[in-house]
Structure 1
Amino acid sequence: MTPHKPAHTPRPFMLSFDDGPLPRKTDAVLDALSRFRGEDGKPLRAGFFMIGDAPARFLAGRQYFAPYELWWRKGSMRRHPELVARALAEGHMIGNHTVHHVWARWPVYRDMDAVRSEIHGWEAHAEAAGWHPATAPRLFRAPYLLHTPTMTAAATELGYRIVGGQTVGDATPGNGLRAIEQQIRRILNTPDTQPALLIFHDIRPVTAHHLGTLLDRLQHEGHDLRHFSV
């Protein structure tokens, strides 16, 4: 009997995380990542697109977040610099996700100066936590992946590389582990020679609790886990 051959080679993948840092969530994600290695056998490197200082109260966040936003307890580099420092010390890369996690369709963010302020403000909190702009890659991912012309122009003008990716669904209300696994498999079972860049949210309990299990299963299925690189 001829052995069954897969329809295509399992797709390699990289990891990125949005909306942290948040205690007990980002820590758990970093703990899980510490068990894994990249393609060179060294500790796995992921990308963390962190928020400079998201409002700590629901009503305060309404002026920045999307009108449909439910997950208002987001991260803050200002309040939790120790988590930024830990991510950097463990070899991960951090990227700019604006100061307040702004929804680019608010009228104010059609203005270049308003977007520049969000990007520069993030840098101040990142530098205070140990990010070095002279040597670190300058990576930008717009909240909600809303890379509007103004967002893109401002980030590019300030020397950032725009980073996209494919969301795994961990921020979708009601999604549990099974739904996330199904979404990831849809992404990784799409034939493509380029590694997929998966977007998780390190502030979400389902990700903090189950990331290690997900990665174990994906590697067991033959998917190649690689270092974050853009």
Structure 2
Amino acid sequence: MTPTRSRTRGRLLAVLLTLGCALWAASPAQAWAWWPPYPNEPTTDIVDSTQWGGQAVALTFDDGPDPEDTPRLLKVLRQNHVKAVFCLWGDHVRQHPDLVRQIVAHGHTLCNHTMHHDDMSTWSPEEIRADLEETSAAIREAVPHARIPYFRAPYGAWGQTPEVAADMGMQPLGWSLTVSDWNTPGTDELVQRLREGITPQSVVLLHDGGGDRSQTVDAVARIIPELRSQGWYFTHPAWRG
């Protein structure tokens, strides 16, 4: 290698290293793209905080995909440059595989939310594993080789599911804030509950399926710009408990 080419490569490496350090110093949100989001093996701990600290929020959506509300939600998230976690209900995945492909194409993260949304709190490990394997298989029928880093138990009825999920490579995902959007209290009320309930490193439980979630989508469209104006940023839940 000539001295000139060696110096050129050295200068390029220095620029890249400087840029990486600058992004890390600027904010964890900007650094996200520079560092692997899932660096460790999952644990049986149920995570309920964000990957990064400060005024961080992670939005998670359960029970989809839904042909009415999921596309609207994806549009809202895209317009606001927010990535979220979608906890997929296996039956709905099989009904709407195209929506799963859209979720992945938009750069969102997938979560196994069981096949039939059953309460697994009394199930045996063998029964749990069979269900989670069926759900992941349904997701990968829609999106081959899809990465599914999280598992969330329906109703928060965990039982022995954390041990099984971790053994299958999925981190159990809880939440620190729920606004009971399944009761459809009205968009204004949901916005107020989000406004009052979000604290630093919140993992927020919302829904894009399992019923009419139009109020949830409208509330998300309103709250994201408001939070951003107050210095909040959006990131992923923690990977390891």
Q: Same fold (TM over 0.5)?
A: yes
Q: Give the Å deviation of 1:209.
A: 3.2
- Superposed CA deviations along residues 84-117 of structure 1, whole A, max 9, x for unmatched, are 0001011001110000111124xxx421121111
2:81 is the alignment partner of 1:33: no
2:202 is the alignment partner of 1:202: no
TM (norm. structure 1) is 0.72
CA RMSD between the two structures: 2.1
Larger radius of gyration: 2
- Superposed CA deviations along residues 17-43 of structure 1, whole A, max 9, x for unmatched, are 010001011011001101112xxxxxx
> In structure 2, what is the Cα distance between the partners aligned to 1:137 and 1:51?
13
Change (3 A) 1:19 1:210: same
Contact 1:99-1:121 at 8 Å conserved across structures = yes
2:101 is the alignment partner of 1:85: yes
> In structure 2, what is the Cα distance between the partners aligned to 1:154 and 1:173?
31
State the SS of the aligned residue for 2:145.
Answer: coil
Contact 1:170-1:201 at 8 Å conserved across structures = no
Match of 1:112 among 110, 113, 125: 125
1:66 match: none
Q: Give the Å deviation of 1:13.
A: 1.0
- Number of residue pairs the alignment of both structures matches: 183
> In structure 2, what is the Cα distance between the partners aligned to 1:223 and 1:20?
30
Q: Give the Å deviation of 1:174.
A: 4.5
1:228 match: 236
Contact 1:49-1:97 at 8 Å conserved across structures = yes
Match of 1:124 among 137, 144, 147: 137
1:61 match: none
Contact 1:19-1:202 at 8 Å conserved across structures = yes
2:192 is the alignment partner of 1:182: yes
Q: Which has the higher helix share?
A: 2
TM (norm. structure 2) is 0.69
Match of 1:12 among 37, 53, 56: 56
2:33 match: none
State the SS of the aligned residue for 2:94.
Answer: coil
State the SS of the aligned residue for 2:181.
Answer: coil
Contact 1:169-1:179 at 8 Å conserved across structures = no
| Paired AA for residue 121 in structure 1 | E
Change (3 A) 1:131 1:145: farther
State the SS of the aligned residue for 1:78.
Answer: helix
State the SS of the aligned residue for 2:79.
Answer: coil
1:145 match: 156
Change (3 A) 1:20 1:210: same
The runs of at least 4 consecutive aligned structure 1 residues that moved more than 6 Å come to: none
Unaligned 5+ residue runs, structure 1?
Answer: 1-9, 38-43, 54-75
Change (3 A) 1:196 1:179: same
State the SS of the aligned residue for 1:156.
Answer: helix
> In structure 1, what is the Cα distance between the partners aligned to 2:221 and 2:196?
19
Q: Give the Å deviation of 1:219.
A: 2.2
Match of 1:94 among 68, 92, 110: 110
